[in-house]
Structure 1
Amino acid sequence: MATLEELKAKAVAMLDMAYVPYSHFPVGAALECEDGAVFTGCNIENSSYGLTNCAERTAAFKAVSEGHRRFKRIVIAGRSDDYCYPCGACRQVLYEFGPDMEVICLNKDNEEKRLHIKELLPYGFDQTWLAIDEK
């Protein structure tokens, strides 16, 4: 299990790995799975903006591709004055694998704001929405 300080350091370190030639807004993430495994990610932009991938989804997809399906918490780091919150798409992806996870958002001064994924996405789409009424 990683400490919060270790996760924060990993997320901040990923800022330097970000590929952001268009927005110049690097984001780093460190995702801890329920079994203690940690996966990092950075945002990766593309000149076709729709093909850009966020740091949070990069970390999540790395975790899932390695067989991890339960997320415990994620730290998201940015270099802005405000906290670096996940976008809507990232919120839904994180909710899929961590409906009870903690989301820790950092600002440029490494100050943190702790949230629950359900605060960020109160009515997340999950498997219960797929239930078929068999009346």
Structure 2
Amino acid sequence: MSNPLSGFAELAAAARAVRENAYVPYSHFKVGAALRAPSGAVYVGCNVENVAYPEGTCAEAGAIAALVAAGETEIVAAYVIADSAHPVPPCGGCRQKLFEFARGDVEVTMATVDGGQETVTVADLLPGAFGSAHMDRT
């Protein structure tokens, strides 16, 4: 990708568009996420609620599922947007999910529908993350 800003704009537009598809009849809090893989492909997800609240799906988790379903296993950039006064960070579970598929230096941009945004790295979101090295028993 020759122009990183055009790639960033594409992620932002994809997250904003998929956010409109969120199924949120209980909270009315729509979230959209867009992830870029090394191939350049963009995968999106939106939050999907369920009346049994713990059974809902976060936007980030939906986008990661789409990434994996397409046969990819790495995230090189992430963009998450919500209708909030301040940029909304991923929940704890989604931070761990992002860490599974992204290096610590991968940027995650959190945005509001009104144009506010903050960019942090995956490592900033989840310091001291539990990783595959913790599974090594030797």
TM superposition score normalised by structure 2: 0.92
2:43 aligns to what? 39
- 2:74 and 2:39 map into 1 onto residues whose CA distance is 8
- Find 1:58's aligned residue among 39, 50, 62: 62
| Percent identity between the two aligned chains | 38
TM superposition score normalised by structure 1: 0.94
Deviation at 1:109, TM superposition (A): 1.2
**Structure 2 letter corresponding to 1:107:** T
- Bigger Cα displacement from structure 2, 81-90 vs 103-112: 103-112
Deviation at 1:93, TM superposition (A): 0.4
Pair 1:121 & 2:130 matched:
no
Cα RMSD of the aligned pairs, angstroms, is: 1.1
Segments of structure 1 that go 5 or more residues without pairing to the other structure are none
Question: Any idea what SS the aligned residue of 1:20 has?
Answer: coil
Pair 1:25 & 2:29 matched:
yes
- 1:83 and 1:89 map into 2 onto residues whose CA distance is 18
1:49 aligns to what? 53
- 2:49 and 2:103 map into 1 onto residues whose CA distance is 27
- 1:9 and 1:74 map into 2 onto residues whose CA distance is 12
**Structure 2 letter corresponding to 1:75:** Y
Question: Any idea what SS the aligned residue of 1:58 has?
Answer: helix
Segments of structure 2 that go 5 or more residues without pairing to the other structure are none
- Bigger Cα displacement from structure 2, 17-26 vs 102-111: 102-111
Question: Any idea what SS the aligned residue of 2:81 has?
Answer: strand
1:75 aligns to what? 79
- 2:7 and 2:54 map into 1 onto residues whose CA distance is 34
Deviation at 1:124, TM superposition (A): 1.2
- 2:73 and 2:112 map into 1 onto residues whose CA distance is 28
Question: Any idea what SS the aligned residue of 1:17 has?
Answer: coil
- 1:65 and 1:125 map into 2 onto residues whose CA distance is 24
- Find 1:87's aligned residue among 78, 87, 91: 91
Deviation at 1:107, TM superposition (A): 1.2
